[in-house]
Structure 1
Amino acid sequence: MSDSNSLIFSLEAGIATIRLNRPDVFNSINKPLALALQERLRACKEDATVRAVLLTGTGKAFCAGQDLAEITDPSSPGVSEIVEQHYNPIVQLIRDLDKPVVAAVNGVAAGAGANIALACDLVVAKESASFIQAFSKIGLIPDSGGTYFLPRLIGMQRATALMMTGDKVSASEAERMGMIYKAIPDENFDNEVVALVVKLAAMPTKGLAYTKQLLNASFHNGLEQQLRCEADYQYRAGHTADYREGVSAFMEKRKPTFTGE
C-alpha cells in the first residue's frame, strides 16, 4: 500500500518497510514526504504486529536531504521551521520507536538524509553508496541529529572534519570508521537486508526495546545512574514471556518462539 506518491509502505510478517519514493530528485525530502514519514513511524509504534522497521529508498539514492526547490520557494517556511516541523520529529520518532529500526542505504545519503539514517538502530549500506554531510556546501549547519550522533559514532575529530569539509565517505570507509554497521556488496544487498530484518523481527522485541531505551539513556547518564537503569530494565526483561520462552527453549535445546510479550 502507499501513503502518497512520495512514500511506499508495506507490512509483511511483522516487518514494516518504509520506502522513500521520489527517485527523480534522489528521494529528497519535502513537506508531504516528511509528514508521511512521521505518520508512518507513529503508526509503526502503535501497531503491535510491527516487530521491526526497515527504512530505505527507491532508485539510485537513499535520500539527498532537503529538497532545495521547496526551501527556496518564497511561500516556504524558513529553514529553522522546516527543521523543527519536519526533521526533528522524524529523528525523535525513530529513537522513541520501541522496535528495531534498520536503515538500508541503497545509494547516496546526503545532508538530513545521512543523519536520519544514522539515527536508526542499525545502518547497512551498499558498497556503492556514500554518505555526505553536505550542509557546509550551502552555508548551513548539520541538523537532524547530526551533531549529536556522528561524533558519538566516529569521534569528534572525524565528525568535525566531515561536517566542515563536506567530503564524501564511501560505505566501506563508513564501516571502517564505525559510522555504520556494515557495507554490503551491491549484488548481495537485498538478500542480506531481508535476512537482517527477519532475524530482528524473530527476536524478543520487548528486550530489544529495553536495550534501545538504555542506549538512549546512556548518552546523558553517568555510570552509576546507567548501572541503576540496567538493573531496573533487567528486572522488567526478566518478567517477560519472551524471557521465560528463551530459558525454556535453551533448557529444552530447541529454537525459541518469541512473541514480543
Structure 2
Amino acid sequence: MQLEHIRMERDGDVAVITLDNPGRRNALSRPMQEGLGRLLQQVRETPDIRAVLLTAAGDAFCAGADLAGNAIPPGDEHLTRGQSTRKVMEQLSNPLITGLRELPVPVVCALPGVAAGAGVGIALAADVVIAARSAYFYLPFIPKLGIVPDLGTTWFLEKLLGRGRATALTLLGSRLGAEQAQAWGLVWSCVEGEKLREEAMAVARQLARLPSHAALETRRAYDAAGRNDLAAQLQYEADRQAELIDRPDFEEGVRAFLEKREPDFARLGKRGT
C-alpha cells in the first residue's frame, strides 16, 4: 500500500497510525486524508487489531487543513472554491471522522503538540485523548478565516465543553493548553512530552484487553443518552443488557470474577462489530 505523509505499524494487537509530515506540522493534505481512510479500512479488515493509537511525528499533531495545497482538483474547475471544498469534505474528510467513530476498536489519540483547525476534529474523534503538557488546541476558523469549525469540531466541543465554553473558544480563537483542556474534560490526561508515547501506548494496550464490542457499545450508549430522556435511556440499557449478557464475554467476565483473575476476552476469538 503506497501512502504519503502517513504510516501504520503494529505493536502487538495495537495498530499505531502516525501522521508523518512534520515539516508541514502534519497539515491535513488530500494524500494524508486518503491514506488515513485506507488505514482505517485496513484496521476494520484485520481482526487481530484490538486498539488503535493515533499520533503524529514531530512537535505538532496537526496544523489543520493544508491551505497551501487546497487547489481545486482537476475536473472540478467549474466549481467555486467553496463548492469544491464541500465536495472534498463530503467525499473524503467527513468520512474520516465517521470512520474513526465507527471503528470497531478503541482509539487513543496522543497529541505531541498543537491540534489546530481540522486537526481538532481528528483528535476529538478518538475515544481517549492524551496530550503532552506543551500541546494545545487552537481554532482559527472564525477569527482568522471567517468560516465555521469543521470535521465534527462543533459537535465534539458542544458535547464535551458545553455551549458557553465552545462558543467562546470559537469566537476568541484563544489557545486552550493541555492542562486547561484536561481540567475542562477535553482530554483524559496530560503528561510530559518525553513520556507521551509510553503513556498513550499503555492506555492503548489496556483498551486492547477489553471485550471485542466495547468501543462500539460505549459510543452508541452515550450517543443514545445524548438524545434520550431518562425513561428512554433506561429502556435502551435494559435492551442492550438483554443481548450482551447472553454473549461469551459476559460469561468470561463472571468466570474470571469467581476465579479471582483478570478476564481474557481476546481468547474468545473474532472481534465484534
Which TM-score band applies after superposition, normalised by the shorter structure?
over 0.9
Give the TM-score normalised by structure 1: 0.93
8 Å CA contact retained: 1:8, 1:20: yes
Q: Does 1:69 align with 2:68?
A: yes
Following the alignment from structure 1 to structure 2, what is the Cα–Cα distance between the partners of residues 12 and 144? 28
Aligned to 2:235: 228
Bigger mean CA offset, 221-230 vs 115-124 = 221-230
Aligned residue in 2 for 1:118: 124
2:154 equivalent in structure 1: 147
CA distance in 2, matches of 1:220, 1:108: 32
Q: Which residue of 1 aligns with 2:115?
A: 109
What's the secondary structure of 2:213's corresponding residue?
helix
In 2, Cα distance between equivalents of 1:112 and 1:105? 14
Alignment of 1:96 onto 2:102? yes
Query: Is the counterpart of residue 158 in structure 1 residue 143 in structure 2?
Result: no
Shift of 1:205: 2.8
Alignment partners' CA distance in 2, 1:119 and 1:41: 13
Q: Output one character per residue of 1:184-222: Cα deviation in whole Å (capped at 9) or x when no partner.
A: 122321211111001000122323431222123333233
How far off is 1:42 after superposition? 2.1
Tell me if the contact between 1:3 and 1:9 (Cα under 8 Å) persists in the aligned partners: no
Q: CA–CA distance in 2 between the matches of 1:36 and 1:6?
A: 8
Structure 2 equivalent of residue 193 of structure 1? 200
Runs of 4+ in 1 over 4 A off after TM superposition: 72-77
Structure 1 match to 2:89: 83
> Are 2:32 and 1:25 equivalent residues in the alignment?
no
Match of 1:178 in 2: 185
Distance 1:42 1:233 in 2: 27
1:209 aligns with 2:216: yes
> Could you report, residue by residue, the CA deviation over 1:33-88 in whole angstroms, capped at 9, with x for unpaired residues?
11111111122123211111111111111111100012246857622223222321
Instruction: Kindly indicate whether the alpha-carbon contact (under 8 Å) linking 2:62 and 2:114 is maintained by their aligned counterparts in 1.
Output: yes
Letter in 2 for 1:120: A
Using the TM superposition, name which of 202-211 and 142-151 deviates more.
Answer: 202-211
Distance (whole Å) between structure 1 residues aligned to residue 202 and residue 35 of structure 2: 27
2:109 and 2:200 in contact (8 A); partners too: no
One-letter code of the match for 1:204? P
Q: Percent identity?
A: 38
Q: TM-score, normalised by structure 2?
A: 0.89
Q: Does structure 1 conserve the Cα–Cα contact (< 8 Å) formed by 2:117 and 2:138?
A: yes
CA contact (8 A) 2:102 2:216 kept: no
Secondary structure at 2:49 match in 1: coil
The 8 Å contact of residues 25 and 60 in structure 2, kept in 1 or not, is answered as yes
Contact 1:206 1:237 in 2 (8 A): no
**Are the counterparts in 2 of residues 202 and 258 from structure 1 also a CA contact under 8 Å?**
yes
Aligned to 2:140: 134
Task: Assess, with a 3 A threshold, how the Cα gap between structure 1 residues 257 and 74 changes in structure 2: closer, same or farther.
Answer: closer
- CA–CA distance in 1 between the matches of 2:127 and 2:97? 11
- For residue 252 of structure 1, report the CA deviation from its aligned partner: 0.8
Q: Secondary structure at the match of 1:43?
A: helix
Q: Which residue of 1 aligns with 2:6?
A: 7
2:229, 2:46 → 1: CA distance? 33
Per-residue CA deviations over 1:104-130 (Å, capped at 9, x if unaligned) read 111110011011111211111000111
In 2, distance between residues paired with 1:43 and 1:219? 30
Contact 1:99 1:208 in 2 (8 A): yes
Measured in 1, the distance between the counterparts of 2:71 and 2:214 equals 45
1:256 offset after TM fit, Å?
Answer: 1.8
SS at match of 1:9: strand
